[in-house]
Amino acid sequence: MAKQGREPVQALEGLTAAAKNAANTDATGKGLPPVHLWNPPFCGDLDMRIAADGAWYYMGTPIGRPALVRLFSTILKREDGKHFLVTPVEKVGIRVDDAPFLAVELIKEQDEKGHCLSFRTNVDDWVDCDPAHPLRFEASAEGGLTPYLHVRADLWAKVTRALYYDLVDIGEERMVDGRQMFGVASAGAFFAMADAEEVRGH
């Protein structure tokens, strides 16, 4: 519960109303409220969780309304490795099993500077992979690598396994700090996955 003595349903309804009000304070022109400018008091943890598959749960029950998930995603903030939902007047902690977003679609576009990879997240944000929104690759517990895309302000999207294979298909080798690396190029930047010799060995 967000505050002692507050009923859980009221907490969710109150947060929903506050999130809708916050959505009307967009200062970026991109449909996102300026959560980076807000520093309200911490009001405790809410029984809300984002699972590894991108599904949102409230008190153990899936939040089945995509519009509500989208709304909450716009007031998401990460500080000191923890995730919060933030409005101008309160901040509540939530649990995130892996990354708060999933990258579920990939488009490769070409322009005069070369090609650019654009990803769609599970809440319908489009993110261009570039130096400000890099890809990083981490060892997966199941073997292989798991890519993550920076969405905004220390919030990341886990790239789905299907899209990971697409990235491997368009990968290339480049010299990075004296080592031949295999990785992906986008918007003039190169994001190394692994040592090229290791990749060739597989």
Residue that wins the pLDDT comparison between 113 and 2: 113
pLDDT of residue 95: 97
Residues 150-174 pLDDT 10s: 999 999 999 999 999 999 999 999 9
Cβ proximity of 103 and 163 under 8 Å: yes
| Short-list 193, 112, 198, 202, CA closest to 159 | 193
Q: How confident is the model at residue 25 (pLDDT cuts 50, 70, 90)?
A: low
Higher pLDDT, 32 or 59: 59
Selecting from 3.50.50.60, 3.40.140.10, 2.30.270.10, 2.70.150.10, what CATH number does the domain 101-201 have?
2.30.270.10
Do the first three CATH levels of 8-96 and 101-201 match, i.e. the same topology?
no
**Letter for the amino acid at 150?**
H
Q: Assess if CATH 3.40.50.150 describes domain 8-96.
A: no
Residue 135 CA to residue 149 CA, distance in Å, equals 5
pLDDT digits (tens, 9 = 90+) for 44-93: 999 999 999 999 999 999 998 999 999 999 999 999 999 999 998 889 99
Question: Residue 104 forms beta bridges with which residues?
Answer: none
Q: Is the pLDDT of residue 11 over 90?
A: no
Number of CB atoms found within 10 A of residue 31's CB: 10
Domain ranges in the chain?
Answer: 8-96, 101-201
Q: State the pLDDT at residue 99.
A: 97
Average pLDDT of the chain, as a whole number: 88
Phi, psi of 49 (to 5 degrees): -140, 140
